[in-house]
Amino acid sequence: MTDRQNTPKVHPLKELLVPFVAFARAPRALWGVNLTYFLEGLSYFGILTLLAIYFNRVVGLDDAQAGWIVGAFTGGITLAMFFFGELADRWGVRSALTLALLLMFGGRILLAGGDMLGGGGMWSPVFLASIGGLLLVVLGYGMYQPAAYLAVKQFTTPKTAAMGYAALYAVMNLGAFLSGILSPPIRGTFGISGIYWVYTALTALSVLLILVITTRHSVMKARRDGQGVDEKAQTAERERRREPFQLGRWLREHPLRDVRFSFFIFVLIPVQTLFAHQWLTLPQYVDRSFAPWVSANMELFVNLNPLLIFILTPLAAALTSRVDVYKMMIIGTAVMAAPTFLLAIGPHVGLLMTYILLMSVGEAMWQPRFLQLAAELAPEGKTGQYMGIAQFPWFLTKLLTSLYSGSMLAHYVPESGPQDTTTLWLLYGLIAMASPVALFVARRWMGGKLKTTAVGGAS
């Protein structure tokens, strides 16, 4: 009798529910991290949505100046992770999360209260307070996200890891979606500064949750119940935290010296351009190329993605928890990139909705796995640093995509005159497909580095 015949049959529904049940029993510390990540997703995306308008109406800048500041802010956050991601490794998850949230809390106080300083325009008191506030948020976020993913790595078991990463990604998107519901009535009554004060209060709540739920005791228990605590590794970790920073050693041990890791994170830039096009191209495309009833409700169509991601990400993780992580990267990026060619057929509502749905399915399949794989590629004690470095290509993606998206829109989808949406989306589809093709071609070369990256107990 073969091994295949000896393998007990598992009911498909039970197989689907197992990861959810296992994650429901996750330690208290992990639930604390998830709660703060939900609140941070709500606050960050709620503030970002209104940030350009804030600098127009409250600070008194023109469109070009406001756009530059928003671009510098979003790019600065990604760049900050490049430099500060390793602090969670040195200080520990709880300390890094607490300091990060305190910095963001202080920054949002300056941002929300800036209009009380009076003045307006570049270098006015309100401008300086707002820029100072954004800088504090950038510094805090540079530590916050790597620390959160380090927590997932430490607090989950091989059976719950996939669901842990997926849940963190999903709750952020749920927060982003709910900010669109929370913001309009409060902003209509109290203005932009009023809703910014609400987000500031939510950040303060996150600090309290970290201190009350994610205690030192709960963190140690979560680590014991999760990946386990190695006494030798703990001793080495404490010694490393006491070591002074040395530039030479930092460069010698930098993650980008790992050729496979560098290939893995940079090869995703082409497919990540589709994320950037969600705010750089898709809104203008829907507004300019569709019937009035569609363009008048542009925000509804463009912002369906976060809600879909919240629903799809845990399901994708449960259904694919036993599939090799690198294989899921290939499949997921292909599923995300391929629907772009549907838009090349022409501006039809059905094709647009199908694109958004399939792209979201692909994103739910690969994006949490990317963060999981980046964490698993990291040597012991360097997870936070690797997570921070893994975000650097996203910074480049934002920068590179913004350099050509505007001119491409002006050429292929102008506000008036003939349009050629087919060529625009055909080119963007070809760019995005470069990622899954390159991942597939390099699968054998990368395989030697990824012997232990399967999840759900697979080898």
Residue 324 has a CB neighbour count (10 Å cut-off) of 18
- pLDDT for res 436: 96
pLDDT, mean over the chain: 78
Can you spell out the DSSP letters for 273-286?
A: HHHHHHHHTHHHHH
Q: What percent of the chain has pLDDT over 90?
A: 25
What is the distance between the alpha carbons of residues 79 and 85, in angstroms, rounded to a whole number? Answer: 10
- pLDDT for res 380: 66
Which domains are seen in the chain, by residue range?
Answer: 24-243 (1.20.1250.20), 252-449 (1.20.1250.20)
Q: Which of 130, 104, 102, 103 is nearest to 115 (CA)?
A: 130
Per-residue buried b or exposed e for 163-174, using 16+ beta carbons within 10 Å of the residue's own CB: bbbbbbbbbbbb
Q: Which of 163, 138, 390, 375 is nearest to 272 (CA)?
A: 390
- pLDDT for res 222: 55
Evaluate if residue 445 carries a pLDDT over 80: yes
Tens of pLDDT, residues 195-254: 999 999 999 999 998 888 776 655 666 555 555 444 444 555 555 555 565 556 655 666
Q: Are 23 and 155 in contact (CB under 8 A)?
A: no
CA gyration radius for the chain? 22
Q: Are 236 and 381 in contact (CB under 8 A)?
A: yes
Higher pLDDT: 151 or 215? It is 151
- pLDDT for res 1: 35
Evaluate if residue 451 carries a pLDDT over 50: no
Tens of pLDDT, residues 299-333: 567 778 888 888 887 788 777 777 777 888 899 99
Tens of pLDDT, residues 63-79: 667 767 877 887 888 78
Evaluate if residue 46 carries a pLDDT over 90: no
- pLDDT for res 25: 59
Evaluate if residue 17 carries a pLDDT over 60: no
- pLDDT for res 358: 95
Indicate the residue type of 239: E
What is the distance between the alpha carbons of residues 194 and 186, in angstroms, rounded to a whole number? Answer: 7
Q: Are 292 and 347 in contact (CB under 8 A)?
A: no
The CA–CA distances, whole Å, from 353 to 275, 301, 342, 348, 419 equal 16, 8, 10, 9, 21
What is the distance between the alpha carbons of residues 52 and 64, in angstroms, rounded to a whole number? Answer: 10
Going by C-beta distance under 8 Å and a sequence separation of 6 or more, which residues neighbour residue 214? 28, 29, 32, 33, 93, 94, 97, 151
Q: How many helices (H) and strands (E) does the chain have?
A: 24, 0
Tens of pLDDT, residues 250-288: 556 666 777 887 888 899 999 999 988 887 778 778 888
Higher pLDDT: 5 or 181? It is 181
